[in-house]
Amino acid sequence: MEEAQRWLARAVSSEPETDFAIVFGGEAVGGIGFTLGSDVERLSAEVGYWLGEGVWGRGITTAALRVATRWAVETFALRRIFAVPFSDNIGSTRVLEKAGFVKEGVMRCAAVKDGQIKDQVLYAFVIAPCR
């Protein structure tokens, strides 16, 4: 609960707004947000999202990711949005692929979760051409 309250406080006060609730049936069921790049990475952002297990498998996250990606590209003039799910998170990688993100590679031994070192998969949505 404390972590949720800290996240909400940060999300509500962040400028610009980059974190949003995913609403389904009039109820908040998840969240999606962006970490904007800066300096030489100012045209990029990382996206992260989560959805409550009770509403998995309904295409909600894919729909939210498509809308949020379009909004972020238009709002911040981004050329690239990326995500780095754990390699064993098949649901998240499917969401990214269905939303038009492309797998760019595997980042081996890139993160630690629950005491285990894990690979992450790099996915990106790129506005082409970039040259």
Report how far residue 3's alpha carbon sits from residue 9's, in angstroms, rounded to the nearest whole number.
Answer: 10
3-state secondary structure of 26: coil
DSSP 8-state code for residue 37: -
Name residue, tokens 């990606």: 69
Written out in words, the top-level CATH class of the domain with range 2-126 is: alpha beta
Phi, psi (degrees; rounded to nearest 5) at 43: -100, 10
Give this prediction's pTM. Answer: 0.90
Provide the β-strand partners of residue 120.
Answer: 86, 107
Report how far residue 91's alpha carbon sits from residue 115's, in angstroms, rounded to the nearest whole number.
Answer: 22
Question: The tokens of 60 are what?
Answer: 């909600």
Check pLDDT > 90 for residue 106. yes
Q: Are 96 and 65 in contact (CB under 8 A)?
A: yes
User: So what's the pLDDT on residue 2?
Assistant: 81
pLDDT per position as a tens digit, 13-33 = 778 989 999 999 999 999 999
